[in-house]
Amino acid sequence: MLDEADRHALERLVRVKILDERPVEVPAEAGRWLAFPAKRLADAVAALGLHDLRPATTVMGVAAATRATDTVDFQDSRGRPQRAYRVFITPEFENWRAKGQITNWRMLWGNSFLDELDGFALATELSKRCGEAHFYVLDPYNSSENWYVARDGHTVRSFGSYADPQFEGEPLPFELWYRDNADQDEAETYAEGVPYASTAADNLSVEPGPQLAEDTHGHGWLATTHPDVPNARFKGALPV
């Protein structure tokens, strides 16, 4: 763990780096993430029970949530075993292609958090406080993709490569556009809806990958899921 002087020095460095952190990039080839309306950040923090929010560059946050150690096992004040998770909330990304009233979104990345606590359930819970939330999965290793939309605590639409059935809920407007504009080779692919998580994200919230500087607002945040386990408890050095 860093001592207090080192932590202050790191925080100063992060604040400096954030000032010229444009453009930023989040993983595009694989991963799982939540998306929620950017203006509902405080609601998302409350809904997911997050603590110790710290400003972070995107490079730092992505590494912390997807490559570095992102869990800490500990005993609470009653001696019960607990596990805390570290997550990264991205800057605010504006997507003029998003179909709907919401154009500005944030993503939440955290491999262990989303895997072990069920990203679908987390998106549903998040939507109760934020109005709408999504969960996306790109898993090239298993040739699998998932996307899931919840509004006000209810499932609206979902797709899963290995789900049975693959689609649930009624097709969303952007899916109808793909179906109606599909050429002969694409007709079967889009007959029931859009089976691609990245395409769904691009039309509903924000697609991962490089983000234009002019469409990026604010900065990202590191957070943990337990008040007794701050970010400083997680092991390993992070790029800044």
Digit-by-digit pLDDT tens for the chain (240 residues) are 555 655 655 566 567 677 778 899 999 989 999 999 999 999 999 999 999 999 999 999 999 999 999 999 999 888 999 999 999 999 999 998 877 778 999 999 999 999 999 999 999 999 999 999 999 999 999 999 999 999 999 999 999 999 999 999 999 999 999 999 999 999 999 999 999 999 999 999 999 999 999 999 999 999 999 999 999 999 888 887
**Domain-located, residue 113:** yes
**Domain-located, residue 155:** no
**Domain-located, residue 81:** yes
**Domain-located, residue 142:** no
CA 214-218-223 angle, to 5 degrees, is 140
**Domain-located, residue 177:** no
Q: Which amino acid is at 49?
A: G
Query: For residue 7, what pLDDT is reported?
Result: 60
**Domain-located, residue 163:** no
Domain that holds residue 68: 4-137+206-233
Q: How far apart are CA 63 and CA 52, in angstroms?
A: 18
Query: For residue 15, what pLDDT is reported?
Result: 72
**Domain-located, residue 119:** yes
Closest to 107 (Cα-Cα) out of 119, 121, 117: 119
Query: For residue 154, what pLDDT is reported?
Result: 98
Domain count, the chain: 1
**Domain-located, residue 240:** no
Closest to 54 (Cα-Cα) out of 64, 69, 46, 68: 64
Residue 73 pairs with which residues in a beta bridge?
Answer: 83
